[in-house]
Structure 1
Amino acid sequence: MTEHVDILLRGGTVVTMNDKYDVFEDGAVAIRGDSIVAVGPTDEIALAYHADETVDCADTVVMPGLVNAHTHIPMTLMRGLNDDLRLDVWLGYLMPVERHFVTPAFVKLGARVACAEMIRSGVTCFADMFYYEESIAEQVAEIGMRALLGQTILVFPAPDAETFEDSLLLCRRFIEHWNGHALIQPAVAPHAWYTATPELLLACADLARAFDVPLHTHVSETKFEADNSVSGNHMSVVTWLEQHGILDTKLLAAHCVHIDEEDMFSLRRAGAGVAHCPSSNLKLASGIAPVAQMLALGLKVGVGTDGPASNNDLDMVEEVRLASFIAKVHAQNPTALPARQALEIATIGGARAVHMGHLTGSLEAGKRADLAVVDMRGIHNQPHFHNHPDAVYSRIIYSAKSSDMAHVLCNGRWLMRDRELLTVDEAAARAEAIQVAKQIDAFVMERESSPYNKLVLLAGVTRQESFEVQVKAPLADEAIVHKVLASGDLHVTRAAHYRQYDHYFLFDSGDPDAARLRYREDEFINDAGEVMQVRARLTLIGEGEREEFPNAVMLSRSRFLAQADRSLRFYQEYFAPARELQVNKDRRRWHVLYKATDFAINLDRVLEPDVPGHFLEIKSRTWSRSDAERKATLITELLALFGLDLNQAERREYTEIALSANRERRVEPA
């Protein structure tokens, strides 16, 4: 008497990806409820089981559903936005868009688009990291896919939380709600060490351990990141994470492009999973992860697409093929990551990496019924050879396309039959995505319309109206300045010495509030000539209005101040100025009182471009024309104290002097 099952897949080549790598050329899989009951030759399975639904799988491969080990699925709605940028600059564009647009409705729509795409490429399980994961979980569970969903935690404000404490609380509630669900595995997801504080990392590790859930984070994705950890933390990224408890969790480490053998041993000891994302790492020029070495050392490695805004697709068939090819190039060895091993890291290897190997990733009795059925009749996959036991893996990895996926089941439920999606309204999702893209387009075009808008959306700004009366003059001998300051005619209230490294971005935007952006690094120098403090600032400077007095110049202009917490190279690529100008100065400044009026006395030497001699600059803030006139008169008296007269005054600003010096430098000799 035969045993009853719900579904019987029979007649296909069954690729199990079990520990023995069993392949049944005429095989069958019996499914009851959410689980696999039996796998084996069709004759044996047909004699033992009868089914409510029998599917003829002739000319197909029946294999485990693919596991996408790292992605950000709502970013389907940002696919193709601002491509061909470095990772940090790309994030500088994407994060303002996320802050403005990402809502529960947004992530649900992005999840529908992503799940439709992944199902079509045979994916049944994936690991996500994004915002509003509660809403993503609701959508993914409804569609019927299996997922590890990590609630993102950042040290700065995110779309769903103002502080990292808010993010932690949100994550805790998400875990409490979804932990133990049949399809959804909640996880803690600190974005990366460089978007976290030590306290944040420790808190995330504690939360993951308290609930015994995975922790998903980015690790050593770029050389820039890896080098910053060594220079700033005096240790590798992996060691830094280990010291803050992250390796004491069920860790899923995304990317791991720039790790060495010591890091690999640390990850292996921790039982961590690694998500290898070849397309994203190549597109963003992050590098090639040493996957062959990781596998040789026994790490749990899976393959991920990364987010569709940095790949730009979720096609796991393409991804695993690329993973195999670049591993061969990286090792300069065509035997590295052969087809069977490539399929392994996309199935059972990926399942182990996301800490779900006990549930999915292989076709074995007792595991969940997560399967993909691949049509092998396409002309691109002909002919078929059978002389080598691994030939079927070659056909899957090197010849098959995502469009060959005919049927997909997850947890015993049909997600796709005969290439028709059953749990996602693909046409409706596409139409909604088109409307969202129009809104994002309008937002980005407004942002791109001026440097001011780009600065506001990147960092936020503080507006400052600047009114000052000033004059500067070339100085033959700097000793006169020290002599006057020591004479007692001026009361010195404060003194400082610093070097200013100014990099100006010049724009042709026609925006009077955004004539130029200054990236300034100040190095404060102590009496021993040593750098004791460094400060970086951004100042967006308007064109300003200049009013000439007989004995000084009054400038009024708008300034927008912002913190400069990124590299000069980042700002160069992000703002894409029409021209750039560098002005470096050695400045000694004294704040003085003269006739009960505050003045700043600057003794400047322009180092770049090389302008001979020194300049004496006298300036004071003002608030009205009558005040400016009075201070202009006092400036005349101060000039006389220093042995200078108005005929020697230099009306230009340092940027104008630098531009003139650069032009003179380019003049060809007669």
Structure 2
Amino acid sequence: MTNTPQSIDLLIEARWIAPVDTDGLLKNHAVAVHQGRILDLLPSGEAHLRYRPAERVRLDDHLLIPGLINLHAHAAMNLMRGLADDLPLMDWLQHHIWPTEAEHVCAQFVRDGTRLACAEMLRGGITCFNDMYFFPDAAAEAAAELGMRAMLGITTLEFPTRYASDAEDYLTQGLATRERWLNHPLIGFCLAPHAPYTVSDTTFERIATLAGQLNLPIHCHIHETAQEITEALERDGIRPLARLHKLGITGPNFIGVHAVHMNDEDLACIAESGSYLAHCPTSNLKLGSGIASVVKMQQSGIAVGLGTDGAASNNRLDMFGEMRLAALLAKGTSGDASALPALEVLRMATLKGAQALGLGHKIGSITPGKAADLCAVQLNTLETRPCYDPLSHLIHVAGRECVSHVWVNGRCCVEHKKLHSIEQNDLESSIALWQNKLEVRRKAPE
């Protein structure tokens, strides 16, 4: 008696699959997807006998990977891409970015900027981003419209902006937004104190309490520049990370962003507390902040994910670029050509990011039971041939232009390199309007 094949929503057959949670590649395998989740991962021949899909996608010259996870972004800042280049961090922030934000940032700015960022990220294989910006309700609307997974920051500062008046107001508004989106399958939240130099001890203590009560990750810039540490020692008599540890911020739910200037005590603190770090190599180089010691971090037992930072300081939301640069910097700074092999870099861009966000049980690997967040990378162009090692090609040869298909929660968001769910003309019109507004400010006399 022959078993009847099981009806499912989707069967994706690929020449190569990188599950990420195991070593190596699977060749000529298939991923069975039903109701947004990965049902099975098995040889293609077996899949034909076991499943009857409503839709079948054949990827004959592709590597299928988990959707990439951008562990640190300021999505709406896509509207400030290239606005103030070739400047160090504090000059860039204080004299260009913050004044522009004070004049222009509103809910519509964040909605339009985040729509642009989501479009860019999805086309580049990013299925989830961890954001830190204002008006998170508008960011949630944009991400939901494009069908993208987002962890949105309840951003907190001591000084007023067009979004909130003080730290308590930031937290109150952010938590109310979280309540409104609590049951959405793709939208989650982090507590996001901006940085030790913009947030007080009292606010950090309140955030530590909220994180414990609500089981939320904490996402914070830390040790990005040498100047930040020098000023902290003069002001507080203690290094910024040590201060956060003393205030109860570090721990398994803490994501420290940048971590460029870390001494042995700092690394020990992160390792012993079980905290995570988000490495943003392009932004750190472009702002002249330095190079994070990722090899030393990993040797200390620290889990490191990858982020782009915002497009105002990168200027791309391109995880392929971050993966390649992270690998090359690790090899160059350590003098060890074996540092950060391709599979480990891919894990940084997928599973490590998922674990940092508390989503390791849900995304980050091609594992039955997890959400079907997937990215197909085409490896049949002249630029990608010959291909002896698809994982090596993924990191050192392929770029985001090689992404052909992207699924989030089993739903196709990019098909044959074309974005679903948004009209490009509508998006381009909103970008042009904001460019005109921001250019008027740039040209105004000081």
State the TM-score, normalizing by the size of structure 1. 0.65
Corresponding residue number in structure 2 for 1:398? 396
Corresponding residue number in structure 2 for 1:230? 233
Which 4+ residue blocks in structure 1 deviate beyond 3 angstroms? none
Aligned residues: 442
Distance 2:205 2:14 in 1: 52
Aligned identity (percent) is: 37
Give, as a single letter, the amino acid of the residue that structure 1 aligns with 2:362: L
> How many Å apart are 1:297 and its aligned residue?
2.1
Give, as a single letter, the amino acid of the residue that structure 2 aligns with 1:27: H
> How many Å apart are 1:180 and its aligned residue?
4.6
Relative to structure 1, the CA distance from residue 29 to residue 192 in structure 2 (aligned partners, 3 Å threshold; closer, same or farther) is: same
Secondary structure at 2:30 match in 1: strand
Corresponding residue number in structure 2 for 1:526? none
Give, as a single letter, the amino acid of the residue that structure 2 aligns with 1:6: D
Secondary structure at 1:344 match in 2: helix
Distance 2:424 2:341 in 1: 35
Give, as a single letter, the amino acid of the residue that structure 2 aligns with 1:434: A
> How many Å apart are 1:291 and its aligned residue?
0.7
Distance 1:310 1:239 in 2: 27
Correspondent of 2:222 among 219, 222, 227 = 219
Corresponding residue number in structure 1 for 2:88? 86
CA deviation profile, 1:198-229 (whole Å, cap 9, x unmatched): 11111122222221111111010111112222
Q: Bigger radius of gyration, 1 or 2?
A: 1
> How many Å apart are 1:249 and its aligned residue?
6.5
Corresponding residue number in structure 2 for 1:432? 430
Correspondent of 1:318 among 318, 321, 330 = 321
CA contact (8 A) 1:2 1:50 kept: yes
> Aligned ranges for residues 47-446 of structure 1 at < 5 Å?
47-92=49-94, 93-248=96-251, 250-385=253-388, 391-446=389-444
> How many Å apart are 1:380 and its aligned residue?
0.9
Distance 1:113 1:257 in 2: 29
> How many Å apart are 1:151 and its aligned residue?
2.0
CA contact (8 A) 1:14 1:27 kept: yes
> How many Å apart are 1:279 and its aligned residue?
0.3
Give, as a single letter, the amino acid of the residue that structure 2 aligns with 1:393: L
State the TM-score, normalizing by the size of structure 2. 0.96
> How many Å apart are 1:68 and its aligned residue?
0.6
Secondary structure at 2:100 match in 1: helix
CA deviation profile, 1:71-97 (whole Å, cap 9, x unmatched): 100000000001111100100111111
CA contact (8 A) 1:174 1:186 kept: no
Distance 1:326 1:51 in 2: 44
Distance 1:284 1:417 in 2: 35
> How many Å apart are 1:236 and its aligned residue?
2.0
Distance 2:117 2:137 in 1: 16
> How many Å apart are 1:22 and its aligned residue?
4.6
* RMSD, aligned α-carbons: 1.3
Relative to structure 1, the CA distance from residue 188 to residue 382 in structure 2 (aligned partners, 3 Å threshold; closer, same or farther) is: same
CA deviation profile, 1:49-88 (whole Å, cap 9, x unmatched): 1100001110111110111110100000000001111100
Corresponding residue number in structure 1 for 2:15? 12
Secondary structure at 1:247 match in 2: coil
Secondary structure at 2:184 match in 1: coil
Distance 2:172 2:346 in 1: 38
CA contact (8 A) 2:70 2:129 kept: yes
> Aligned ranges for residues 537-616 of structure 1 at < 5 Å?
none
Structure with more of its chain in strand, by fraction:
1
CA deviation profile, 1:120-142 (whole Å, cap 9, x unmatched): 11000110000001111122122
Distance 1:2 1:298 in 2: 45
Distance 1:349 1:196 in 2: 27
Distance 2:168 2:222 in 1: 22
Distance 1:63 1:74 in 2: 27
Give, as a single letter, the amino acid of the residue that structure 2 aligns with 1:151: I
Distance 1:90 1:33 in 2: 46
Relative to structure 1, the CA distance from residue 210 to residue 408 in structure 2 (aligned partners, 3 Å threshold; closer, same or farther) is: same
Give, as a single letter, the amino acid of the residue that structure 2 aligns with 1:419: K
Distance 2:24 2:380 in 1: 22
Distance 2:293 2:14 in 1: 39
CA contact (8 A) 2:156 2:167 kept: yes
> How many Å apart are 1:115 and its aligned residue?
0.6
Distance 1:401 1:353 in 2: 25
Distance 2:236 2:182 in 1: 35
Give, as a single letter, the amino acid of the residue that structure 2 aligns with 1:359: K
Q: Which structure carries more relative contact order (alpha carbon 8 Å, separation 6+)?
A: 2
CA deviation profile, 1:555-614 (whole Å, cap 9, x unmatched): xxxxxxxxxxxxxxxxxxxxxxxxxxxxxxxxxxxxxxxxxxxxxxxxxxxxxxxxxxxx
> How many Å apart are 1:268 and its aligned residue?
2.5
Give, as a single letter, the amino acid of the residue that structure 2 aligns with 1:80: G
> How many Å apart are 1:174 and its aligned residue?
2.1
Secondary structure at 2:254 match in 1: strand
Distance 2:431 2:439 in 1: 12
Give, as a single letter, the amino acid of the residue that structure 2 aligns with 1:272: S
Distance 2:439 2:343 in 1: 43
> How many Å apart are 1:410 and its aligned residue?
0.4
Secondary structure at 2:230 match in 1: helix
1:24 correspondence with 2:31: no
Distance 2:53 2:24 in 1: 23
> How many Å apart are 1:263 and its aligned residue?
1.7
CA contact (8 A) 1:302 1:349 kept: yes
CA contact (8 A) 2:154 2:175 kept: no
Distance 1:205 1:168 in 2: 12
CA deviation profile, 1:311-351 (whole Å, cap 9, x unmatched): 00101111111111111111122111111111110111221
CA deviation profile, 1:161-202 (whole Å, cap 9, x unmatched): 011121121122122223353111111111001001111111
